[in-house]
Amino acid sequence: MTLHQTPFSGRLSLTTKETKALKPRISVITLGVDDLEQAVLFYRDGLGFSTEGIVGQEFEHGAVAFFDLSSGLKLALWPRRSLAHDSGLQLLPPNAAAFSIGHNVMSRSEVDEVMGQAERAGARIVKPAEDTFWGGYAGYFQDIDGHLWEVVWNPQLLPEQSL
């Protein structure tokens, strides 16, 4: 008897769907910040991201700013205090090496341009752009709350023009 002839064969794909509820999707990246207004200035005026500004101020722990990114992804800035309150997790000092946000660009010169823009916006240059061991060119900066961004030219992972 082959697999396709078992009594269960018709349910295999359904079963898979039932047990794999989580789709490979990230909708929002929320960065905890110390001073929401300063963080909005950094991302809106410094980096040039578009936002409607701070909303939700009528709610306790509600004040937040959303930025529309490419491909429907949203970046949210939310006080670390609010994130800790909402999740119930302890409020600890930021740890910059826990994760990073990768921003891929089309060329080496665009890496330099973006690093320059970030520095002018008040970011800390953690590692100036340099050649990477895997054949690309990349640098790191931290936003004003210490969140780590990597600006990357990877000839094998170029962004689509529309993204």
Could you tell me the smallest distance in angstroms from the CB atom of residue 5 to a copy of itself?
Answer: 27
- Closer residue to a copy of itself in complex, CB, 31/144: 31
Relative to beta strand 74-79, strand 28-33 is parallel
Cα 93 to Cα 79: distance, rounded to the nearest angstrom = 13
Cα 75 to Cα 29: distance, rounded to the nearest angstrom = 5
Cα 90 to Cα 68: distance, rounded to the nearest angstrom = 29
- Closer residue to a copy of itself in complex, CB, 2/71: 71
Could you tell me the smallest distance in angstroms from the CB atom of residue 8 to a copy of itself?
Answer: 19
Cα 163 to Cα 158: distance, rounded to the nearest angstrom = 10
Relative to beta strand 124-131, strand 74-79 is unpaired
- Closer residue to a copy of itself in complex, CB, 4/18: 18
Could you tell me the smallest distance in angstroms from the CB atom of residue 104 to a copy of itself?
Answer: 4
- Closer residue to a copy of itself in complex, CB, 5/133: 133
Cα 41 to Cα 60: distance, rounded to the nearest angstrom = 22
Could you tell me the smallest distance in angstroms from the CB atom of residue 127 to a copy of itself?
Answer: 5
